[in-house]
């Protein structure tokens, strides 16, 4: 068991607050692939859920914080300096799309903005009103 905890290091890694931030960033950022794979398998079609973009944003900001405040490596900093921009943009697009969905008057199901019929009960859904 010396390999597990040796000279005050766990798994040979010297742990401190910024190291935990960096590893948390890696864990959060990596978990988005598992989420996307799970949702795609469940729906039997390629799907990128909103949570994917939240995990991307949080993970990349944690890694950027680690790079800026601990590593101070220009390569590492530049790798995460701008990744948050498309993640926020995709979250905005997801939100706009969700707000544009039509609600079925019969069953209450929320359908795609371009839908003519409710995908749950088949009732005609009203046309979207101009904004």
Residue 89 sits in the same domain as residue 40: yes
Residue 116 sits in the same domain as residue 73: no
What is residue 13's predicted lDDT score, i.e. its pLDDT?
A: 77
Q: Is the CA virtual torsion 51, 55, 86, 45 positive or negative?
A: negative
| Total count of domains within the chain | 2
Query: Rounded mean pLDDT of 98-109?
Result: 85
Residue 106 sits in the same domain as residue 83: no
What is residue 130's predicted lDDT score, i.e. its pLDDT?
A: 38
Residue 45 sits in the same domain as residue 93: yes
Mean pLDDT, the chain, integer: 88
pLDDT class of 128 with cuts at 50, 70, 90: low
Residue 77 sits in the same domain as residue 36: yes
41-82: pLDDT as tens digits:
999 999 899 999 999 999 999 999 999 999 999 999 999 999
Residue range(s) defining the domain that contains residue 129 = 102-131
Residue 62 sits in the same domain as residue 121: no
């Amino acid at each position: 068991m010396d390999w597990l905890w040796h000279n005050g290091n766990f798994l040979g890694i010297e742990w401190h607050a910024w190291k935990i931030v960096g590893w948390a960033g890696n864990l959060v950022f990596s978990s988005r692939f598992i989420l996307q794979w799970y949702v795609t398998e469940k729906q039997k079609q390629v799907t990128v859920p909103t949570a994917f973009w939240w995990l991307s944003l949080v993970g990349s900001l944690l890694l950027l914080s680690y790079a800026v405040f601990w590593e101070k490596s220009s390569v590492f900093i530049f790798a995460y300096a701008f990744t948050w921009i498309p993640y926020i943009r995709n979250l905005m697009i997801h939100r706009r799309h969700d707000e544009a969905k039509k609600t079925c008057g019969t069953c209450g199901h929320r359908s795609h903005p371009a839908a003519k019929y409710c995908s749950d009960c088949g009732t005609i859904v009203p046309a979207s009103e101009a904004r």
